[in-house]
Structure 1
Amino acid sequence: MTGGVLNRYLMREGAASWLAVTGVLLAIMLSTRFIRFLSMAAAGELPRQLLLKVVGLSALHYLLILIPVSLLLGVMLALGRLYRDQEISAMTACGVGLGGLYRPFIGLALALAGLTALLSFQIGPWSGRIVDQLVKDSRRLVQFAPFEPGAFKDLGDGRATFYTQSMSGDAGELENIFVRVDDPEYSGVITAHAGEQAIDSESGERKITLTDGQRYVGTPGRADYEIMRFKRFGMRVQPPDVLYVAGKHKLATTSALLASGEPEDLAELHWRISAPIAVLILVLLAVPLSHASPRSGRYGKIVLGILVYLVYSNLLALGQVGIADGKIPSALGLWWVHAIFLALALALIAQRAGWFARRRAS
């Protein structure tokens, strides 16, 4: 019963610290991303109503990066407080060993490793593709424009030609417009002294309203044209459909990476496998790294934990580049990096358990 209470207490402390660290780091990373998307929205490259959606989808990708380091720092912060308040000393006096400290944190790490695997193999690439598609599609819709001042512009493989002499600063008002349409359903020419256009931010459709103009309907080469004068004439112009193709390996589906034999795809696959493994290895490192005397303070070992994580993540990044360049065999992958830090974790655990001291004494 006492063990269950202790496990729940340690689990609660570790989870609370992990949530706090994750929230702070996620807010920092999203703020930089939000500034970038905000500048795109201000420049007219991204509709404002999509801003929060794009940032929210980006958060799913950032969680994949943050869970390993936030778990390491969260466990170290939780145990640092327990060491500072001498609660660990009290637990040790009651017979709680190193295994008793590990048990709740291993449970937390297994749950987060499962979440990380889901983010790494499915949710992360999916959200990245959605964000990439939204940004590219928004840029396409904004950049698509049938009118350019003083220039004839063909759209629809030459089925329509648009011309305007001048446009207002916000491109909403037009002057001296010429439109030629060559379509099986309708063929003719439209001229107007003035007009205006409005853009649907979601579909990219442009609604064009012309005023004080003439409409010529007929077959080229024949003289029997029908001429109609109008006060107002409306037309809609749809943007061209574009097939979206993800141009980055990190956005590819996991099944596509498994089916590919390209070194870049194999490197991305090994990185995705590394994410949940890193969660488990870092929690093994967190417990011995957080050991401190009550006088050293709660944050005494945090710098050491950050340093260990930076070395770990940089070696994984270097290994990924090595696989992509063909310098590291795909069979070896990034397992050598995990082996190094697993060996370090086991050595620190053995030191904390007194195995080296007993070995020297014997």
Structure 2
Amino acid sequence: MNGKPWWPIIDRYLMRQLVAAFVACLLVLVLVSMGGLVADLLSKIARGKLPPGLLISQLGLRALDFLPLLLPLSLFLAVLLAYGRMYRDSEMAVLASAGLGIRRLARPLLWLAVPVALMVGVTSLWLSPLALRTSQAMIEAANKSLLVAGLEPGRFVEMPGRNGVVYISQMDDDGRHFRRLFVHNERDGRIDVVTAQAGELYQESMGEERYLRLIDGFRVEGALGSDAFRMMRFAGNDIRLPDVEPGNVGRAEQRMTPRELAQTGEPVEQAELHWRIATPLATLLLALLALPLSHSPPRSTRYGRVMVALLGYIVYLNMLALGRSFLASGTIPAWLGLWWVHLPVALIAFWLLWRDERLPRPRGAA
């Protein structure tokens, strides 16, 4: 190796700048997007539509569904911010005077963009559908078990989504059958106390409503502060629990594997397959497009061209979404896919790179 490092110093420096900016942008975007998801999950938990114990698992699984959109945007912003800062601080002018053209600047960018694009492809094609299917299975299992719903035996538990308290003395391992139940419910100034020797949790035929079937018990109800209480004994009684959270997480085609999507001839499934293929390709195109767009005059405003670049990103993303809807509705044939959206962006990116490469450089530069 003649004592020379395998990775040139300039490439290592550019790589550090890009990775630092990429990680910072990704963390910010993840925190922003996760905030809305956490609020949605907490709202469902407060209404009793989702078991509290599934909060962390659902948050992690559904976060995978955001990555195919967050990773390309993070890389796009990282290139704009990292290279844009170097242009404003005249570092790019120094590199250009040393004979380093746009192709040399693109080399460390590709070392980062290619792994990110591969990560986006793997997540979009396999991990995201797997996460959605796992999330659906966990919710469906939670809707059938009192244990997962938080009704533990031997403990007073607030009734999910209602102003009441439930106590269960014993429960079978399946979490559906129980013995010696006590329910206290208060609403509109009236109290309702129910006891039962045994019971079970069941769902209606459509699976959208849950009920506690109580066997051999008593029910006492009346107004607070009044002596007029009514007591009834029953052989069987049903108490409705809050509606379950639908087990279908995302659309049906979003949970399908790539092979299942490829084997079907339905336009909706074909549109989903082309969308998954488009995300890693868009990651590479956005990275290449951001390189010439990051060019800015020295001592210019920090975010001068970032807003223009973001506008181009929004247009590109909206065109992909529009093409996806055209494919799903059958307006355009499946063989055309989303290539008609990628092609203009690729031509613009390579034209801008070619134009910057033709800028004058010092005489004798390599």
TM over 0.5: yes
Does the 8 Å contact 1:197/1:206 carry over to 2? Answer: no
Other-structure match for 1:327: 331
- Cα distance change, pair 295–239 in 1 and its aligned pair in 2 (3 A): same
Other-structure match for 1:260: 264
- Cα distance change, pair 4–81 in 1 and its aligned pair in 2 (3 A): same
* Deviation >6 Å, runs of 4+: none
Q: Does 1:237 pair with 2:200?
A: yes
- Cα distance change, pair 169–32 in 1 and its aligned pair in 2 (3 A): closer
Secondary structure at the counterpart of residue 296 of structure 1: coil
Aligned-residue offset at 1:50: 1.1
Alpha-carbon distance in structure 1 between the residues aligned to 2:144 and 2:86: 55
- 1:170 is aligned, of 164, 168, 183, to 164
Does the 8 Å contact 1:45/1:138 carry over to 2? Answer: no
- Cα distance change, pair 289–237 in 1 and its aligned pair in 2 (3 A): same
Other-structure match for 1:70: 74
Other-structure match for 2:310: 306
1:126-157, Cα deviation, whole Å (9 max, x unpaired): 11222233344444557xx9xxxxxxxxxxxx
- 1:251 is aligned, of 255, 271, 280, to 255
Alpha-carbon distance in structure 1 between the residues aligned to 2:29 and 2:288: 22
- 2:131 is aligned, of 114, 127, 130, to 127
Aligned-residue offset at 1:47: 1.5
- 1:26 is aligned, of 30, 37, 48, to 30
Aligned-residue offset at 1:65: 1.1
Q: Does 1:17 pair with 2:24?
A: no
- Cα distance change, pair 137–84 in 1 and its aligned pair in 2 (3 A): same
- Cα distance change, pair 169–26 in 1 and its aligned pair in 2 (3 A): closer
TM-score, normalising length: structure 1: 0.73
Aligned-residue offset at 1:354: 2.5
- 1:209 is aligned, of 180, 183, 186, to 180
Other-structure match for 1:189: none
The amino acid that maps onto 1:339 is L
Does the 8 Å contact 1:141/1:239 carry over to 2? Answer: no
Alpha-carbon distance in structure 2 between the residues aligned to 1:169 and 1:198: 20
- Cα distance change, pair 296–136 in 1 and its aligned pair in 2 (3 A): farther
Aligned length: 288
Secondary structure at the counterpart of residue 114 of structure 1: helix
Alpha-carbon distance in structure 1 between the residues aligned to 2:335 and 2:181: 66
- 2:116 is aligned, of 112, 117, 131, to 112
The amino acid that maps onto 1:63 is L
TM-score, normalising length: structure 2: 0.72
Alpha-carbon distance in structure 2 between the residues aligned to 1:115 and 1:198: 49
- Cα distance change, pair 234–270 in 1 and its aligned pair in 2 (3 A): same
The amino acid that maps onto 1:325 is S
Other-structure match for 1:94: 98
Aligned-residue offset at 1:169: 4.9
Aligned-residue offset at 1:239: 4.4
1:324-347, Cα deviation, whole Å (9 max, x unpaired): 111111111000101010011011
- Cα distance change, pair 39–347 in 1 and its aligned pair in 2 (3 A): same
Superposition RMSD on alpha carbons, in Å? 2.9
Other-structure match for 2:287: 283
Aligned-residue offset at 1:311: 0.6
Other-structure match for 1:271: 275
1:28-58, Cα deviation, whole Å (9 max, x unpaired): 0100000000011111111212101111111
Alpha-carbon distance in structure 2 between the residues aligned to 1:248 and 1:343: 35
Of 318-327 and 345-354, the range deviating more from structure 2: 345-354
* Larger CA Rg, structure 1 vs 2: 1
Of 270-279 and 11-20, the range deviating more from structure 2: 11-20
